[in-house]
Structure 1
Amino acid sequence: MRFPTPLRIAASALWLPERREAVADAVHAGRIEPDRAARNAYTEIPVSDLAPPQMAVRAGRTALAESGVAAEDVGLLVHAWTYYQGQDYWQPVHYIINELELPNALPLGVDLGCNGGFAALEVMACRLLCDPATHSAVLTTAERFAPPRFDRWSANFDAVYGDAATALVLDRERGGYEVLSTASKAAPEFEIMYRGSTPWGTGAFQHRPKVDIRATLVDFLASGGGQRFAAVAGDAVRSTVTSALEQAGIATDDARVRVIAPPRFGAELIDRSYISVLAGLTKAEVLNLGARTGHLGAGDMAANLADITAAGRLQPGEIGVLLSATAGFSWSCMVLRAV
């Protein structure tokens, strides 16, 4: 999708708790296998004592303060998440709007797994383009992968999960980045990879005591679907990048394309599914920004932009490419230009 009038990202924020769990300590305690820890190449993982919506409020306050956008000018707040938000049968987005004191913001929640942050920003962009009365919109994400139902170290093979919140402010006129285009691709035939053969239930954790992604992945690989999935996933990553750049009017070999930021998966998965797949397509550096955070669920995209901004990786006129993906499966790409 090409934006006829580029919108601006006025601010991005990453909120991390102070407490950390070191990977070396987790290996010593037997919480993660040494070889898997080495393949993922994380060094530490943030662990929060706050509920996710409380974290989202902190990130939102930071982003709003940095953006210069007045509270009354925010017409939409979209909150995205992947895991439990701290209360049963309850929508966290209303709490976040209330705590941020946004009197004119309408609420929207996005539950699209790890691609939720991307989907939320795309919805925000469409609202701003279609509704002249909406001048600014806010995206928040927040995750807390807490025991006993979620073991951040053993739930998955290719990622360890960190607690964090992120926020973005999208505006018609102000901000250091223009959103030029987006592209997505889905392969829903692979939804079974995370569902497995477990019977349908009537409540959470009826059949397993905790989230166990490894079990469903093992079932899927045993069925012989791994090779086809790898081919589809590689094509999806490459085609979304190519499509988004094309829609933005930017050649893949344009020297202005400086960085590509994939999700904060383990290092081996990033190398296999992003660096090797995109090799030779662009001149950009493929970043790995999650070594000290782990995978942040729906927050990877916004967290990557916050870190890119803090490090000054994009100068005016240069292009950044943000990638997102979720099990189920879908892959997405967003192209930004620093201004």
Structure 2
Amino acid sequence: MRTPGLWIAGVGTHLPPVVSAEEAVARGWYDAGTAERSGWTGAAVAGELSAPEMAVLAATAALERSGHPPDDVAVLLHASTMAQGPEAWPPQSYVQRRTVGGDAPALEVRQACNGMLAGMELAARWLTADARPAALVTGADNFGLPLIDRWRYAEGAGTDRLSVLGDAGAAVVLSRRGGFARLLAVGTLSVPALEEMYRGGLPLFPPEQSLGRPVRIGERLRRYRETDPASSAAARRSLDAARLALGTRTLAEAGVTADRVTRATHVFSGGAAYLESVLGPLGIDASRGLLEFGRTVGHLATCDHVVGLEHLVLTGAVGPGDHVLMMSNGGASLACAVVELVARPTWAGP
């Protein structure tokens, strides 16, 4: 979807302290051989700071940087992948109450690792029909949960994606008035066959977490691959084809060719081979990604892209005139956005 006249006015993140892979190995949390093979050097760990609280911290920074007062916000969209707090409780309302307040719609987005990019697309569509000029998109996860092991969640997948999970909060303010970057295009695609891959043969009811069973994503992928190898291979081919189609379409909508993409953000859950499979078919060298940075903080789920974009801006890796491709997959969907930097924001320093 082309998004003329839409800007990124502010971004904000909260990255808690990193626990090194070396410490995790010493404490028996992480296998030494896996750590050496995978290349992940650490994971951001929030301790007892909840995901919604991290989202509030990130949103507060993004709003301040954007220059938009709370009354400008037409909609708040909060994305997550794991539990946010008590069951049957609206985390998006918690974030709204502690940031913009008011009575604008506050909605939760459940699109796995695509959550914030999907939220940006929804916000862009919302702003075409609302008189208020801004939208707030937040995301956060704390993986320090009893039923998920951040250091071993991907074991058994049989791929090079032996990532670890990091905690974070992130936020974006989209604006029709201006900002440091233009959102040129954003879009999503669904690949419904992938739901079976991520379900891995588990029953739908009762939910596994209600039975106190640990969440092992890698084991689900392995089980599906071994139980139905033909369907598993077909699903992966569908994923690759859909990702190429979405990336090609979004770049075309943005009017940006692959050679003009300065850098790319992606989910921090794969190694060099994964990054090549994401960017290579689009004609973008994998070196333009954020592999090494992602390995220092872990896979931040829905926050990877906004944390990555802020990192690129703060470090000066991108500046006015540069283009950033944001390419994501999560669960049974894909998301993509193209951003053009138009100014170095004051919060990034000289």
**Counterpart among 231, 234, 237 of residue 231 in structure 1:** 237
Matches of 1:284 and 1:315, distance apart in 2: 18
Unaligned runs of 5+ in 1: none
Matches of 1:284 and 1:198, distance apart in 2: 37
Aligned equivalent of 2:249:
243
The yes-or-no answer on 1:335 pairing with 2:338 is: yes
Q: Percent identity?
A: 31
Aligned amino acid, residue 191 of structure 1:
E
Summarize deviations over 1:210-230 as a string: whole Å, max 9, x none: 111122111111121443344
Aligned equivalent of 2:30:
32
Matches of 2:211 and 2:334, distance apart in 1: 29
Aligned positions of 1:1-339 closer than 5 A: 1-3=1-3, 5-18=4-17, 20-48=18-46, 49-131=48-130, 133-157=131-155, 158=161, 159-206=163-210, 209-222=213-226, 223-224=228-229, 225-253=231-259, 256-268=260-272, 270-278=274-282, 280-281=283-284, 285-288=288-291, 289-327=293-331, 329-339=332-342
Q: Secondary structure in 2 aligned to 1:161? A: coil
Matches of 1:64 and 1:9, distance apart in 2: 11
Per the normalisation by structure 1, the TM-score is: 0.91
Aligned amino acid, residue 256 of structure 2:
I
Matches of 2:145 and 2:285, distance apart in 1: 41
CA contact (8 A) 1:160 1:266 kept: no
Q: Secondary structure in 1 aligned to 2:302? A: helix
Computed over aligned residues only, the root mean square deviation of the Cα atoms, in angstroms, reads 2.1
Matches of 1:101 and 1:246, distance apart in 2: 35
Give how far 1:118 is off.
Answer: 0.9
CA contact (8 A) 1:237 1:277 kept: no
Aligned equivalent of 2:346:
none
Do the aligned partners of residues 282 and 271 (structure 1) sit closer, same or farther apart at CA in structure 2, a change above 3 Å counting? Answer: closer
Matches of 2:168 and 2:91, distance apart in 1: 15
Deviating runs (4+, > 6 A) in structure 1?
none
Aligned amino acid, residue 267 of structure 2:
P
Per the normalisation by structure 2, the TM-score is: 0.88
CA contact (8 A) 1:155 1:214 kept: yes
Higher helix share goes to which structure?
Answer: 2
Matches of 2:151 and 2:285, distance apart in 1: 34
Give how far 1:283 is off.
Answer: 9.6
Give how far 1:193 is off.
Answer: 1.1
Do the aligned partners of residues 281 and 25 (structure 1) sit closer, same or farther apart at CA in structure 2, a change above 3 Å counting? Answer: closer
Matches of 2:310 and 2:60, distance apart in 1: 14
CA contact (8 A) 1:8 1:172 kept: yes
CA contact (8 A) 1:252 1:282 kept: no
Aligned amino acid, residue 242 of structure 1:
T
Aligned length: 332
